[in-house]
Structure 1
Amino acid sequence: MRLYLLLLVLIIGCDSAKVHQVGEAVPTNRATRIKEILDRPAAFLEQRVVLSGRAGQVCQHMGCWFVLQDNTQHILIDLEQGRTITVPRNISGDSLRVVGIVKRIGGDLRLMGKGVEIHRKRAKIWSFFNL
């Protein structure tokens, strides 16, 4: 019984926020709301912006795209088929900050991601396995 209690205390004590940076560093300036980009695309096309929100659907093949959702809308974050960066495939629900260039491809707006900051809450014991 003592062993189980000790193990439980160790696991709970190891829990911490984990920040994982992929690609370029994400500036600390205020994030643009996704709704602003979708409402006024001409003002943002070809512009570098910072977005924040939660990861929705993620490419399960190699992590080369994901959907970013904030409390206003959602937008596709295109990592250019993983040519320069990819994200872990298990980030759905994690908080993210993303920097990239707003583009229109095939009539759809998307952010060509250059850097992603992933804020995860995972037990340190599992970080060894990159979970």
Structure 2
Amino acid sequence: MLKKSLFVIALFLFVSNINAEGEKYGKEISLKDKTNVSSILTSPEKFDGKTVLVEGKILNVCQGMGCWIEVAGEKENEKILVKVEDGVIVFPKDAKGKTALVEGIVAEVQPSTEEHHSEKDHQHDGDDPCNPKTKTYRINGLGAIIK
């Protein structure tokens, strides 16, 4: 009986430790130093093409394919889009409000007249974050941890 109890306790501690680290998506995160979203948005040209690690609250999630999240910056009303390759990484639709640690490449996005996905596949409120009306910058996500 004692062995069984110790096994259950050890299993519980192991599972608790996994959940404390968060759910992993995509490639393993290799960077250690975080970059502020504010820094990227203030001087995007400085970061264009560079791999960064950002952390922030998830403000929105693609409800169709789970192919993007919006991560809050340090200032009010500040956010950056993290776009991932469709089907390679699928963010959970219930991730809104959780914290994301994301590694990816900062990229300039030009306005496009093309549809990114059909409405059925890519549900969003308001403007399509993947199809901006003006030039913007986003992070092309390589790996993420959601806690």
Task: Give the TM bin, normalised by the shorter chain.
Answer: 0.7 to 0.9
- More strand by percentage: 1
- Distance in structure 2 (CA, Å) of the matches to 1:69 and 1:31: 14
Q: State the TM-score, normalizing by the size of structure 2.
A: 0.66
Q: Select which of 57, 79, 85 maps to 2:84.
A: 79
- Distance in structure 2 (CA, Å) of the matches to 1:28 and 1:109: 20
- Distance in structure 1 (CA, Å) of the matches to 2:63 and 2:44: 29
Aligned length: 106
Q: State the TM-score, normalizing by the size of structure 1.
A: 0.74
Partner of 2:23: 20
> What is the aligned-residue identity percentage?
29
- The unaligned stretches of length 5 or more in structure 1 are 1-12, 120-131
- The unaligned stretches of length 5 or more in structure 2 are 1-11, 111-134
Cα RMSD after superposing both structures: 2.0
Q: Deviations over 1:2-35 (max 9, x none)?
A: xxxxxxxxxxx99x57210000112351210011
Partner of 2:131: none
Q: Select which of 103, 115, 119 maps to 1:99.
A: 103
- Distance in structure 1 (CA, Å) of the matches to 2:107 and 2:73: 19
Q: Deviations over 1:21-74 (max 9, x none)?
A: 000112351210011011111110000000000111100001101100132221
Q: CA deviation at 1:110?
A: 0.3
